[in-house]
C-alpha cells in the first residue's frame, strides 16, 4: 500500500508543485505494512481523487491520508482520505457528485473542467473492493473525499522485521515546517521508528527550542527544515543554526517543494547534510536518517562529505540491495549478472536450489531471483524450504521472484502457490527486470 501511494506521489507531485500547492502524504503508524488487496483499483481511485483535488485547488494544500479504521485477526479496514483547500462544494450538490459527468455547477465546469467519470468510477471500484466512498465539503472551504476498504492481513512471518538502528533512536529530532499536516506526516513516521522528536511551526520558535534544549542538556542533533516558510525560509534558518557556536554539529536536512538549479552546491556550502523533495517518501526518509546518523558529520562545514539527495539515496540503496541469483544455465547466468551490474546492483550466484539455501542460511539477502527448473533442487522446492519456519534461512520473508521460460496460463499461479512473490518470463528484458527490482526494493530498508 505504501508503494502504491508513493507511485501516486511520483506521478502527481509535479502538478501540485507547479500550482504552488503543498502536497502531503501521511500513513498512520498503526496501518499494517503488508496487506493483500487490489493495488490497481486502489491506485485508480486515489489517482482520480488526488487529481481532482489538485485541479480544483489554487492555493493551500492537498493531503493524502491512510488510517486504520478497524481490524480483526484476518482483515484490516483502511480509511483513505484526500483533503484540499480548494473551492469546495455546496451541500445541496454533494449527493450527485458520484453520478457520471455531474458537476458542482456550470461556472466551475467552465473554469476548471469537470470531474467526468472519475468519481463515478471511484465509487464503483470502492464498492467492488467491498468498501464505501463519501465526501465532506462546504462551498468555498475545501473538500474531503474519503473511502474505506477492507484488506486481508498477511501473516507477520511474511514480513521481515524492521530493525531501527540505535544510532537513530538515540538522536533527538526537531521538525520545522509551517504546514501542520507536513509536520504530522513526518511525526507519524518517526513515531513508528521509536524516535525522539519535537516540532516547531517556524524559524524563530525553532531557534528558541534549539537553544532551550542546549541549556537543558538534551540537545536536538537533527533538524528537518522546510524551505518554504513565511517568517524565515529553511535556508535562512539553516544559516542561523550553522553560525551559532552553541549549535555547532547539528545535522541539517532541508525539504523543499520546488527545486532549482544550483541548490545542491549552495546548500552544501552552507552546511546542509541532505536536500530532499517534498513530499518525502517513507523509505527515502528512513534511509536519509540512517545515513546521516551512521556517519560522523561534525565536519559538515569543511565540505568534505557530499550532500545527500534523492538520487544519491537511490544509488546507495541499489548498491546495498543484496540480490541472490539462482540460475543453472551458464549463458543465462552471464546475461543476468551483466544486466544487474548495468542497472547498478550487486548480485551473488547459486547454480541450484540447494546451494541457494546454503547461502541464505549464512548471509542476509534482500531479494532472490529464482529459476524454476534446475537440477539438484528446483526453484519451487527451494522456495518452499525458504518459507518453512523450521529451515535455517536467516530471512523466511525474503521476496522471491520466479524466472521461468514457461509462459503458459496457470504458471504464475503455480509460482505464487509455491511461495514466490512475483514472476518474470524468460528471456528477461532489462527494463522489466529494472521495474521488478525497483518495485520490491521499495519494500526494503537496506541502508
Q: Are residues 142 and 174 in the same domain?
A: no
Q: Is the predicted pLDDT of residue 81 greater than 60, yes or no?
A: yes
In a domain, 145, yes or no: yes
| Crossing angle (nearest 10°) for helices 282-294 and 310-320 | 80
Q: Are residues 299 and 329 in the same domain?
A: no
Q: Is the predicted pLDDT of residue 180 greater than 80, yes or no?
A: yes
In a domain, 256, yes or no: yes
Q: With bands split at pLDDT 50, 70 and 90, how would you rate the model's confidence at 445?
A: low
pLDDT tens profile 140-172: 889 999 999 999 987 655 555 566 778 788 889
Q: Which of 32-46, 150-164, 187-201 has the lowest mean pLDDT?
A: 150-164
Host domain of residue 294: 166-309
In a domain, 446, yes or no: no
Task: Count CB neighbours of 352 within 10 A.
Answer: 18
What is the structure's pLDDT at 156?
56
- Mean pLDDT score, 319-342: 94
Cα separation, 206 vs 441, whole angstroms: 35
Q: Are residues 171 and 146 in the same domain?
A: no
What is the structure's pLDDT at 101?
52
For the chain, what is the mean pLDDT? 88
Domain at 196, CATH number: 3.40.50.2300
| Single residue among 309, 334, 363 that ends a domain in this structure | 309
218 to each of 7, 173, 270, how far by Cα in Å?
A: 38, 11, 25
Q: Are residues 144 and 171 in the same domain?
A: no
Domain at 132, CATH number: 3.30.565.10
Q: Are residues 291 and 333 in the same domain?
A: no
Q: Which residue has the cell 473492493?
A: 129
- Mean pLDDT score, 309-331: 90
Are 70 and 77 in contact by the 8 Å Cβ rule? The answer is yes
What is the structure's pLDDT at 110?
42
In a domain, 219, yes or no: yes
- Mean pLDDT score, 251-276: 91
Q: Are residues 122 and 215 in the same domain?
A: no
Q: Are residues 288 and 342 in the same domain?
A: no
In a domain, 119, yes or no: yes
Strand 196-200, strand 222-226: pairing: unpaired
pTM of the predicted structure, to 2 decimals: 0.77
What is the structure's pLDDT at 299?
47
Is residue 297 helix, strand or coil?
coil
Is residue 350 helix, strand or coil?
strand
pLDDT tens profile 94-130: 888 887 655 555 555 444 445 556 888 999 999 999 9
**The C-alpha cell that represents 309 in the structure block:** 539527495
Q: Which of 196-210, 242-256, 290-304 has the lowest mean pLDDT?
A: 290-304
In a domain, 389, yes or no: yes
In a domain, 314, yes or no: no
Cα separation, 348 vs 360, whole angstroms: 11
**The C-alpha cell that represents 338 in the structure block:** 551483466
Q: What is the number of structural domains in the chain? A: 3
What is the structure's pLDDT at 196?
94
**The C-alpha cell that represents 239 in the structure block:** 544559516
Q: What percent of the chain has pLDDT over 90?
A: 58
Q: Are residues 341 and 287 in the same domain?
A: no
Q: Are residues 129 and 148 in the same domain?
A: yes
pLDDT tens profile 359-404: 999 998 999 999 998 999 999 999 999 999 899 998 898 999 999 8
Q: Which residues contact 108 (CB under 8 A, 6 or more apart)?
A: 56, 87
Cα separation, 152 vs 82, whole angstroms: 23
Amino acid at each position: 500500500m505504501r508503494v502504491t501511494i508513493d507511485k501516486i506521489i511520483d506521478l502527481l507531485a509535479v502538478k501540485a508543485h507547479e500550482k504552488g500547492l503543498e502536497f502531503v502524504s501521511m500513513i498512520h503508524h498503526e496501518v499494517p505494512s503488508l496487506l493483500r488487496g487490489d493495488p490497481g483499483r486502489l491506485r485508480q481511485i486515489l489517482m482520480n481523487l488526488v487529481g481532482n483535488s489538485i485541479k480544483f485547488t489554487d492555493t493551500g494544500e492537498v493531503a493524502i491520508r491512510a488510517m486504520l479504521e478497524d481490524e480483526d485477526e484476518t482483515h484490516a479496514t483502511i480509511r483513505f482520505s484526500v483533503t484540499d483547500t480548494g473551492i469546495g462544494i455546496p451541500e445541496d450538490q454533494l449527493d450527485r457528485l458520484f453520478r457520471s459527468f455531474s458537476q458542482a455547477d456550470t461556472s466551475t465546469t467552465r473554469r476548471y473542467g469537470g470531474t467526468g467519470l472519475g468519481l463515478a468510477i471511484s465509487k464503483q471500484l470502492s464498492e467492488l473492493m467491498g468498501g464505501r466512498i463519501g465526501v465532506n465539503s462546504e462551498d468555498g472551504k475545501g473538500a474531503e473525499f474519503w473511502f474505506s476498504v477492507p484488506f486481508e492481513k498477511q501473516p507477520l512471518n511474511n514480513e521481515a522485521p524492521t530493525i531501527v538502528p540505535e544510532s537513530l533512536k538515540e538522536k533527538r529530532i526537531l521538525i520545522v515546517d509551517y504546514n501542520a499536516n507536513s509536520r504530522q506526516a513526518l511525526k507519524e513516521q518517526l513515531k513508528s521508528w521509536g524516535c525522539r522528536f519535537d516540532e516547531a511551526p517556524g524559524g524563530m520558535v525553532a531557534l528558541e527550542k534549539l537553544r532551550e534544549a542546549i541549556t537543558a542538556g538534551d540537545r536536538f542533533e537533527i533538524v528537518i527544515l522546510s524551505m518554504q516558510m513565511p517568517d524565515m525560509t529553511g535556508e535562512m534558518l539553516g544559516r542561523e543554526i550553522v553560525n551559532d557556536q552553541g549549535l555547532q554539529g547539528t545535522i541539517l536536512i532541508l525539504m523543499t517543494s520546488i527545486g532549482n538549479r544550483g541548490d545542491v552546491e549552495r546548500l552544501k556550502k552552507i552546511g546542509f547534510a541532505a536536500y530532499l523533495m517534498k513530499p518525502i517518501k517513507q523509505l527515502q526518509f528512513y534511509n536519509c536518517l540512517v545515513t546521516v546518523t551512521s556517519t560522523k558529520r561534525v565536519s559538515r562545514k569543511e565540505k568534505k562529505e557530499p550532500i545527500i539527495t534523492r538520487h544519491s539515496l537511490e544509488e546507495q540503496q541499489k548498491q546495498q540491495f543484496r540480490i541472490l541469483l539462482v540460475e543453472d544455465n551458464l549463458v543465462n547466468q552471464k546475461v543476468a549478472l551483466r544486466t544487474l551490474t548495468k542497472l547498478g546492483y550487486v548480485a551473488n550466484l547459486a547454480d541450484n536450489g540447494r546451494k541457494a539455501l546454503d547461502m541464505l542460511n549464512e548471509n542476509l539477502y534482500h531479494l532472490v531471483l529464482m529459476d524454476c527448473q534446475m537440477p539438484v533442487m528446483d526453484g519451487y522446492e527451494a522456495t518452499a524450504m525458504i518459507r518453512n519456519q523450521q529451515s535455517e534461512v536467516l530471512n523466511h520473508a525474503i521476496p522471491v521472484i520466479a524466472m521461468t521460460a514457461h509462459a503458459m496460463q496457470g504458471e504464475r499461479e503455480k509460482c505464487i502457490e509455491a511461495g514466490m512473490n512475483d514472476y518474470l518470463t524468460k528471456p528477461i528484458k532489462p527494463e522489466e527486470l529494472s521495474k521488478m527490482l525497483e518495485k520490491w526494493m521499495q519494500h526494503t530498508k537496506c541502508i
